[in-house]
Structure 1
């Protein structure tokens, strides 16, 4: 008599895999949605509320970030 150490059915394994893929896709979509919302907020701030000093600081931050991304 052989003991079955894996008591999870193939159907359950498949369902679990599908669920994990869906959760990952939902997480990726949420991250992208948050990124887009933050981008819109930044654009709105720049257009409507920023001062010259704010814009100069943002230019420095952008230049620094570009260097990091290029490397």
Structure 2
């Protein structure tokens, strides 16, 4: 079974952009967790972590 050109291009991009792909995957997982699974306690902890991170910058 041969892959189509778009699939091949996607694989080449992923191979050349490993760090960007990793960043995008983590961002997607984070957003999904917040939207679908996070409890109120989780959200409060995340707010604290975000506040601390912003203060570091």
TM-score where L is the length of structure 1: 0.56
**Larger Rg computed on CA atoms:** 1
Name the structure where helix makes up a greater proportion of residues: 2
* Structure 2 unmatched ranges of 5 or more: 1-15
2:32 counterpart of 1:44? yes
Query: Number of matched residues?
Result: 42
Q: In the alignment, which residue of structure 2 is the partner of 1:35? A: 23
Using the alignment, how far apart are the partners of 2:19 and 2:55 within structure 1?
A: 23
RMSD: 0.8
| CA distance in structure 2 between the aligned counterparts of 1:34 and 1:54, rounded to whole angstroms | 23
- In the alignment, structure 1 segments of 5+ residues that lack a partner are 1-25
Alpha-carbon separation, structure 2, partners of 1:67 and 1:56: 17
Matched, 1:62 2:50: yes
**Stretches of 4+ aligned residues off by more than 6 angstroms:** none
